């Protein structure tokens, strides 16, 4: 175990002792015990950053877990993992600090639950980004789903929280299962090459060979399904707005900076394997762009600050996803540096990933402050907070300007690069982009306009306008310093990255790009990461200016469309699919169960009989198994005819008799005639037993006779009666056909009976002359022993049923 293994395990270990600390030190806010964990991890991870400008050192360590299945806890720290791990620990520390002030240390707040779930989540998330083994990655992946649901339902007494938690759980776990199937396919594919492995690095090293596998495309689609559900891409984004019922620190941490980026991480991680394929390019880019558009359009109709931010997150995740898709085209060109023109999209994706984590985290925290200090998040009630909450206002201004893509903040830079990426990909002459490529910049531009509009709504509706104290629960005032420190740190990062973007260039962005696009560079080379504010008068700049102009124009005219249904409907229309689908599953399965589980014994017997008849008929037809052998038929003596005809007549008459005593007697007649058959076929012991037992049975029936109900005429509906008749005859035919075939086949196969042995040895070994009895008590004595047991159990059962009654029935 190296130190790196403990990076992911440390939060889990601390989570175990948190409840004890919570019980022991009630007066200290539990968050203070949690805070050192992400802080120390962050400081530890910073050491791995290549600060001196040299190439990043890649660390790898393996601890065996289930070596026989190839499942090992392998940590692998390259640029991409480091970027995510720093985000998780850094923002994690800020969120813990924020939550200490946000969630009051009250008696009814289960703080230990909160921090245990949060630490579980943090550890799982670190595990996801650090694991090199697919199965370990999957385990951590599901722990993030689980802990995220637990956090969403933190206030579990609220119905909406439970709904949101269930929804996010169902959607992300469904995607997780698809991803697991994709991983299994990858394992199978490498197994076909002779070296089955779960290691991502090794799988990527086989990328050239794996492309030809028929399982390549299914594996790609399944893994993408997992990534899209986790990262809230269209149409799986519907869980994210409902997850806003979680406490705000959770929303800031999980639903803006970390968990929703797990899908982004997965896509980036698998780009070296799947990138360069047309399907990957179109699916990732298309879904990303459409999600961006859908999210930004939906965001402007929200009335709740957190909902606006949720849809904004969806939109921004779509942006990053589409950039990853566009950038994957660079892998198609094998020549070094020829693809680096297109790799600008990957650069933009990584840069925007960092930017989004900073500004969206700070915005969520700001919304939490507004909620905390005014008691509402409804933009219709808010307004005029600028003067009342100056610090909060400043932080929001920075965050929102960055989100809208305004200079000089970092959002502007990534937005510019996003436009560059879309414009450049338009000129790609692969994957048929030349015909449809013009859609990319158009969609990107429209989505940016809507992004600008909702940013304006967010800003102006909260901080400008009239202050309406009568609508607020509390008197609005500035938040305590503890709540403000984390967003201040994030906002200063927004400004710093805005003014000095190249701080990130060779420390974070270049190593991450090398992980996503391996093989594009020769040894020792580095990507040309230079981010400038001023590119000259290029199309990107004009696009940004147009975004601002059109956005302002539409925002000013927004009141005209306020009353349209488009703006009235806040909930995403796709929720109907989810809700109706879930209800449909329940009612559908209830319907099926009602249809099939009638509670009638007869129906269940019918199912079995019809199945038996069907199976045997199918077998006979399929294998053409019917055989008959009428060649050596023995002559039937006349007395046998008589016996058999009487048996048949008695049997058939039985259902028609409607007197109890007559049917009992007819049943007795059949039994005695069976005994007679045993006599005819030379089975003296059988005949004896049958006679005795038939007598006892008839006596038993007659004993119970006066207590038994009157037989009625069979009075089922004629339709059912005919069906019963058909099934019964079918059953008889099946028996007859099988019997005749078996009989004929036995002559063909010429198998000798083992009975020769019994006949020869019953005297020598068993010491008896009656062979049947010797078999019963000597050769096969175990049968007899258990048969005695059956009789005793039946006797005990009969006695119990008659003697022991729970309710007051009459005694016999």
Partner 1 sequence: MEILMIVTAGIIISVSTYLLLTRSILRVVFGIVLLSHGVHLLILTMAGLMGGSPPLLTEDASSYTDPLPQALILTAIVISFGVTAFVLVLGYRTYKEHKTDDLDQLRGNGDE
Helix (H) or strand (E) holding 61: strand 59-66
Report which of 161, 17, 140, 154 is spatially closest to residue 85, judged by C-alpha positions: 140
CB of 651 to partner 1, least distance (A): 5
The number of residues in the chain equals 812
User: In this complex, which beta carbon is closest to partner 1, that of residue 106 or of residue 717?
Assistant: 717
CB of 628 to partner 1, least distance (A): 8
Report which of 192, 270, 228 is spatially closest to residue 515, judged by C-alpha positions: 270
User: In this complex, which beta carbon is closest to partner 1, that of residue 521 or of residue 687?
Assistant: 687
Strand partners, 304: 378
User: In this complex, which beta carbon is closest to partner 1, that of residue 430 or of residue 606?
Assistant: 606
- 476 sits in the region (left: phi over 0; alpha: psi -120 to 50; else beta) called beta
364, 367, 496, 724 from 490: Cα distances, Å: 11, 14, 10, 77
User: In this complex, which beta carbon is closest to partner 1, that of residue 469 or of residue 732?
Assistant: 732
Tokens 């950038």 correspond to 327
> How far is Cα 762 from Cα 770, in angstroms, rounded to an integer?
8
> How far is Cα 479 from Cα 353, in angstroms, rounded to an integer?
29
CB of 622 to partner 1, least distance (A): 22
> How far is Cα 266 from Cα 251, in angstroms, rounded to an integer?
21
> How far is Cα 123 from Cα 646, in angstroms, rounded to an integer?
82
3-class DSSP state of 409? coil
User: In this complex, which beta carbon is closest to partner 1, that of residue 468 or of residue 663?
Assistant: 663
Contact 690, 673 (CB under 8 A): no
Sign of CA dihedral 691, 693, 699, 704: negative
CB of 673 to partner 1, least distance (A): 9
User: In this complex, which beta carbon is closest to partner 1, that of residue 58 or of residue 772?
Assistant: 772
User: In this complex, which beta carbon is closest to partner 1, that of residue 1 or of residue 592?
Assistant: 592
CB of 269 to partner 1, least distance (A): 52
User: In this complex, which beta carbon is closest to partner 1, that of residue 534 or of residue 769?
Assistant: 769
User: In this complex, which beta carbon is closest to partner 1, that of residue 278 or of residue 796?
Assistant: 796
CB of 640 to partner 1, least distance (A): 7
What's the per-residue H, E or C state across 724-755?
HHHHHHHHHHHHHHHHHHHHHHHHHHCCCCCH
User: In this complex, which beta carbon is closest to partner 1, that of residue 71 or of residue 776?
Assistant: 776
Tokens 């001023």 correspond to 534
Contact 248, 308 (CB under 8 A): no
46, 271, 518 from 515: Cα distances, Å: 18, 9, 6
Please compute, for residue 383, the number of CA atoms within 13 A of its CA located in the half-sphere on the CB side.
12
Following CA atoms 238, 240, 242, 248 in sequence, which dihedral angle do they give, to the nearest 10 degrees? -170
CB of 588 to partner 1, least distance (A): 21
CB of 734 to partner 1, least distance (A): 8
User: In this complex, which beta carbon is closest to partner 1, that of residue 586 or of residue 812?
Assistant: 812
CB of 116 to partner 1, least distance (A): 40
CB of 709 to partner 1, least distance (A): 4
CB of 585 to partner 1, least distance (A): 22
Burial of 119 (0-12, 13-18, 19+ CB in 10 A): buried
CB of 597 to partner 1, least distance (A): 10
CB of 630 to partner 1, least distance (A): 7
User: In this complex, which beta carbon is closest to partner 1, that of residue 221 or of residue 665?
Assistant: 665
> How far is Cα 289 from Cα 283, in angstroms, rounded to an integer?
10
Q: How many CB atoms lie within 10 A of CB 692?
A: 11
Structure tokens at 751: 């198998």
Q: What is the DSSP string of 357-387?
A: HHHHHHHHHHHHHHHHHHS--BTTT----TT
User: In this complex, which beta carbon is closest to partner 1, that of residue 536 or of residue 809?
Assistant: 809
């Amino acid at each position: 175990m190296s130190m790196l293994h403990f990076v992911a395990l440390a939060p889990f270990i601390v989570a175990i002792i948190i409840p004890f600390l919570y019980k022991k030190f009630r007066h200290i806010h539990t968050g203070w015990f949690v805070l050192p964990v992400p802080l120390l991890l962050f400081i530890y991870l910073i050491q791995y950053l290549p600060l001196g400008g040299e190439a990043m050192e890649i660390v790898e360590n393996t601890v065996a877990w289930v070596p026989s299945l190839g499942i090992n806890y392998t940590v692998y720290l390259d640029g991409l993992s480091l970027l995510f791990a720093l985000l998780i620990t850094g923002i994690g520390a800020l969120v813990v600090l924020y939550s200490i002030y946000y969630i009051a240390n009250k008696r009814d707040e289960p703080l230990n639950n909160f921090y245990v779930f949060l630490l579980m989540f943090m550890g799982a998330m670190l595990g996801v980004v650090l694991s090199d083994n697919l199965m370990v990655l999957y385990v951590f992946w599901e722990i993030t789903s689980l802990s995220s649901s637990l956090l969403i339902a933190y206030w579990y007494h609220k119905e909406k929280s439970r709904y949101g938690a269930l929804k996010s759980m169902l959607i992300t776990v469904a995607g997780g299962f698809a991803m697991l199937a994709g991983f299994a396919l990858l394992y199978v594919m490498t197994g076909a090459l002779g070296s089955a492995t779960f290691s991502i690095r090794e799988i990527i090293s086989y990328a050239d060979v794996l492309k030809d596998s028929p399982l390549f495309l299914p594996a790609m689609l399944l893994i993408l399904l997992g990534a899209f559900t986790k990262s809230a891409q269209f149409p799986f984004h519907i869980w994210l707005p409902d997850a806003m019922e979680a406490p705000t620190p959770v929303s800031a941490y999980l639903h803006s900076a970390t968990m929703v980026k797990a899908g982004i991480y997965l896509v980036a991680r698998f780009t070296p394997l799947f990138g360069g394929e047309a399907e990957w390019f179109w699916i990732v880019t298309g879904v990303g762009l459409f999600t961006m558009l859908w999210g930004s359009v939906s965001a402007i109709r929200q009335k709740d600050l957190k909902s606006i931010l949720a849809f904004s997150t969806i939109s921004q995740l779509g942006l990053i996803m589409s950039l990853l898709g566009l950038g994957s085209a660079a892998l198609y060109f094998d020549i070094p540096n020829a693809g680096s023109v297109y790799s600008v999209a990957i650069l933009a994706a990584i840069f925007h990933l960092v930017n989004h984590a900073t500004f969206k985290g700070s915005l969520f925290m700001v919304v939490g402050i507004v909620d905390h200090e005014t008691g509402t998040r409804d933009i219709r009630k808010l307004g005029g907070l600028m003067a009342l909450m100056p610090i909060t206002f400043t932080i929001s201004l920075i965050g929102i300007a960055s989100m809208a893509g305004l200079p000089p903040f970092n959002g502007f830079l990534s937005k510019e690069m996003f436009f560059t990426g879309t414009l450049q990909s338009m000129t790609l002459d692969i994957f048929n982009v030349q015909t449809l490529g013009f859609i990319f910049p158009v969609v990107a531009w429209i989505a940016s306009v809507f992004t600008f509009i909702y940013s304006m709504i967010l800003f102006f509706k909260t901080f400008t306008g009239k202050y309406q104290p009568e609508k607020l629960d509390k008197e609005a005032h500035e938040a305590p310093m503890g709540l403000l420190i984390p967003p201040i740190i994030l906002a200063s990062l927004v400004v710093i990255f805005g003014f000095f973007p190249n701080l990130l260039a060779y420390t974070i962005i270049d190593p991450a790009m090398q992980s996503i696009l391996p093989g594009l560079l020769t040894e020792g080379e580095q990507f040309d990461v230079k981010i400038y504010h001023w590119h000259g008068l290029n199309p990107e700049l004009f696009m940004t200016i147009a975004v601002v102009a059109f956005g302002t124009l539409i925002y000013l005219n927004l009141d005209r469309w306020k009353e349209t249904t488009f703006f009235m409907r806040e909930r995403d229309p796709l929720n109907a699919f989810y809700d109706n689908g879930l209800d449909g599953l329940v009612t559908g399965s209830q319907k099926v169960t009602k249809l099939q589980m009638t509670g009638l014994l007869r129906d269940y017997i019918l199912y079995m009989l019809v199945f038996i008849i069907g199976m045997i008929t199918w077998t006979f037809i399929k294998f053409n198994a019917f055989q008959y052998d009428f060649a050596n038929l023995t002559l039937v003596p006349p007395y046998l005819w008589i016996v058999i005809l009487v048996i048949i007549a008695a049997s058939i008459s039985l259902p028609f008799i409607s007197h109890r005593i007559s049917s009992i007697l007819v049943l007795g007649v059949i039994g005695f005639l069976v005994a007679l058959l045993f006599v005819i076929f030379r089975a003296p012991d059988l005949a004896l037993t049958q006679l005795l037992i038939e007598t006892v049975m008839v006596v038993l029936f007659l004993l119970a006779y006066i207590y038994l109900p009157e037989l009625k005429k069979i009075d089922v509906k004629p339709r059912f009666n005919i069906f019963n008749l058909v099934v019964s005859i079918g059953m008889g035919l099946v028996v007859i056909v099988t019997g005749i075939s078996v009989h004929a086949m036995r002559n063909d196969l010429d198998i000798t009976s083992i009975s020769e042995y019994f006949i020869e040895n019953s005297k020598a070994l068993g010491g008896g002359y009656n062979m049947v009895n010797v078999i019963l008590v000597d050769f096969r004595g175990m049968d007899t022993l258990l048969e005695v047991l059956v009789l005793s159990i039946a006797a005990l059962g009969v006695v119990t049923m008659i003697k022991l009654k729970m309710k007051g029935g009459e005694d016999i």
